[in-house]
């Protein structure tokens, strides 16, 4: 008897479903970055001022972030296919509504709708890929990880460039319309090819309304505080002790603390406490948080450096970021292959954290005349170091929990990475804008921000990885170790 969730799929069906799921992840990454270069034209043509930047960006960020754990948990209880189709449909409807928006208020609302759908794309897409490629198909998972790395990095790094080109040649509305053909094709393939399968085991019970309310409100408050921290007022961002930042940040932390006893009593908690009680999984969440805090700022600040400090064009700056892209793709590919071959995650993730720390620390030597050969080497090191965290961290998190909690584990990993990245950006922004703002920033200041934040977060990621220990990833045809099976059975009993 085949125990795989999708063991009866043909090779062609499995391949089609995989590419459709990868397209979902690509859309999620692309849409988070493509709007960056279109924002000036949107504000100029639709109306408003610089204050609207905050609302447009935060509306999507909040909606996509707070829905991630909800999609993940409910997919474990009710199945993934239906929720993914609903999320993708909401995302496409929101994209079309954004393109048709005639006022800034309408655009903010439709951008929020788009974010609600986007929360399902990466989380459920990656969790379903894990269902398609269990340990018995680990060799195929290596190839999938390679394609995933290229698509995700292309979405993150290429988004601003694509957004600028589309806005210049076809108008800002095309930035949202580009989602429709890709998303519609993915939706059709998933609906026609991927069977509707229930989870292997899942507890049914009353909806955890209190947990959902506390989780979403707590995360929203924290993300609002971090987003406000990066906004300018008279050329300077607010201080951490500014009430506009401190109050929502403290409120968010208090709400999440209040969530703990609520989830302990809930029959079907939206954030299962037993997952967080697992030392390995909890440490992996922290490691992913610090990995992203160390690596995300460079993707935004290096283009700022080459364009503003060195006077390089937008198109040329995209080429100078290419070493980061290549490093990420190679790091993700190699890490997945080594994990599958050896069955161990710890050596790979520790090596990644070390390279990430070295690469970001090197930017402490950046100045207005640093050679591009040196920056390319540093970017490759950062890419090689961050690559394992893209897919490898998710693989480790998924293999550290029972199969019935894979959706929640994937969502938790994605959420903590996203919050870590936002915090890293906020901290770098604080270091950069101690004076008149980014308009007068120098290479030394950018290098110091990237270097100090990256080095500190990289070291903390390494510490978290040591605490997490090793997670066994079964090779094709090789069962998991007995101690792993016993630990899982004990946790789920």
> What is d(CA 325, CA 337) in angstroms, rounded to the nearest whole number?
18
pLDDT of residue 167: 78
Quick one: tokens of 221?
A: 């408050």
pLDDT of residue 235: 53
> φ and ψ at 272, to 5 degrees?
-60, 120
pLDDT of residue 492: 37
pLDDT of residue 54: 54
pLDDT of residue 462: 92
Q: Which residue is it, tokens 């707590």?
A: 218
pLDDT of residue 442: 82
pLDDT of residue 150: 66
Cβ neighbours, 10 Å, residue 135: 18
Q: Which of 138, 116, 292 is nearest to 220 (CA)?
A: 116
For residue 307, the surrounding DSSP H or E stretch is none
Quick one: tokens of 109?
A: 């609302």
pLDDT of residue 233: 53
Per-residue DSSP letter, 233: B
> φ and ψ at 472, to 5 degrees?
-85, 125
What does the DSSP assignment read for 152-170? HHHHHHHHHHHHHHHHHHH
Residue 439 — left, alpha, or beta (φ > 0 → left; ψ -120 to 50 → alpha)?
Answer: alpha
CATH number of 8-197: 1.20.1250.20
> What is d(CA 375, CA 280) in angstroms, rounded to the nearest whole number?
35
Quick one: tokens of 38?
A: 């279109």
Rg, C-alpha atoms of the chain: 22
> What is d(CA 122, CA 456) in angstroms, rounded to the nearest whole number?
28
Angle at 48 between CA 43 and CA 49, to 5 degrees: 80
Residue 378 — left, alpha, or beta (φ > 0 → left; ψ -120 to 50 → alpha)?
Answer: alpha
pLDDT of residue 144: 72
Query: What residues in the chain have per-residue pLDDT under 70?
Result: 1-4, 36-37, 40, 48-55, 57-58, 135-136, 138-139, 141-142, 145-146, 148-150, 152-158, 160-161, 198-207, 227, 230-237, 313-315, 317-318, 433-440, 473-493
Domain 272-493 classification at class level: mainly alpha
Q: Which residue is it, tokens 């239906």?
A: 82
> What is d(CA 432, CA 273) in angstroms, rounded to the nearest whole number?
38
Would you call 147 exposed, middle or buried from its count of C-beta atoms within 10 A (0-12, 13-18, 19+)?
middle
> What is d(CA 489, CA 472) in angstroms, rounded to the nearest whole number?
15
């Amino acid at each position: 008897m085949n125990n795989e969730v999708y063991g009866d799929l043909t090779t062609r069906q499995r391949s089609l479903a995989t590419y459709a799921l990868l397209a979902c992840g690509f859309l999620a990454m692309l849409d988070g970055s493509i709007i960056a270069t279109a924002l000036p034209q949107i504000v100029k043509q639709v109306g408003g001022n610089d204050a609207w930047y905050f609302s447009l960006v935060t509306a999507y960020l909040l909606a996509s972030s707070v829905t991630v754990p909800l999609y993940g948990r409910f997919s474990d209880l009710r199945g993934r296919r239906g929720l993914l189709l609903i999320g993708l449909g909401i995302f496409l409807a929101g994209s079309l509504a954004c393109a048709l928006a005639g006022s800034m208020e309408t655009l903010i609302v439709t951008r929020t709708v788009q974010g609600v759908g986007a929360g399902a794309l990466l989380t459920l897409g990656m969790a379903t890929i894990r269902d398609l490629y269990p340990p018995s198909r680990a060799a195929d998972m290596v190839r999938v990880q390679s394609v995933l790395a290229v698509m995700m990095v292309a979405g993150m790094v290429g988004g601003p460039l694509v957004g600028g080109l589309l806005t210049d040649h076809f108008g800002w509305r095309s930035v949202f319309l580009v989602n429709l053909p890709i998303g519609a094709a993915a939706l059709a393939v998933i609906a026609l090819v991927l069977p509707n399968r229930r989870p292997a085991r899942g507890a049914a019970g009353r909806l955890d309304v209190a947990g959902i309310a506390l989780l979403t409100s707590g995360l929203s408050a924290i993300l609002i505080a971090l987003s406000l921290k990066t906004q300018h007022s008279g050329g300077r961002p607010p201080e951490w002790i500014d009430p506009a930042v401190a109050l929502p940040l403290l409120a968010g932390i208090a709400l999440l603390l209040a969530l703990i006893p609520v989830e302990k009593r809930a029959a079907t908690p939206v954030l299962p406490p037993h997952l967080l009680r697992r030392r390995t999984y909890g440490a992996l969440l922290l490691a992913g948080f610090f990995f992203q805090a160390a690596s995300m700022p460079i993707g935004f600040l290096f283009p700022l450096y080459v364009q503003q400090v060195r006077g390089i064009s937008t198109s040329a700056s995209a080429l100078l970021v290419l070493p980061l892209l290549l490093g990420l793709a190679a790091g993700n590919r190699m890490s997945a292959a080594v994990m599958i071959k050896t069955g161990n995650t710890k050596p790979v993730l520790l090596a990644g954290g070390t390279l990430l720390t070295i690469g970001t620390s090197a930017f402490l030597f950046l100045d207005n005349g640093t050679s591009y050969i040196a920056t390319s080497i540093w970017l490759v090191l950062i890419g090689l170091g961050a690559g394992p965290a893209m897919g490898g961290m998710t693989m480790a998190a998924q293999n550290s929990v029972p199969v019935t909690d894979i959706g929640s584990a994937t969502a938790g990993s994605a959420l903590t990475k996203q919050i870590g990245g936002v915090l890293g950006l906020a901290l770098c922004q604080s270091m950069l804008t101690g004076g008149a703002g980014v308009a007068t920033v120098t290479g030394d200041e950018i290098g110091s921000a990237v270097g100090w934040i990256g080095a500190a977060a990289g070291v903390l990621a390494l510490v978290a990885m040591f605490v997490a220990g090793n997670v066994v990833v079964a090779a094709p045809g090789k069962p998991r170790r007995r101690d792993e099976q016993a630990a899982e059975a004990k946790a789920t009993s």
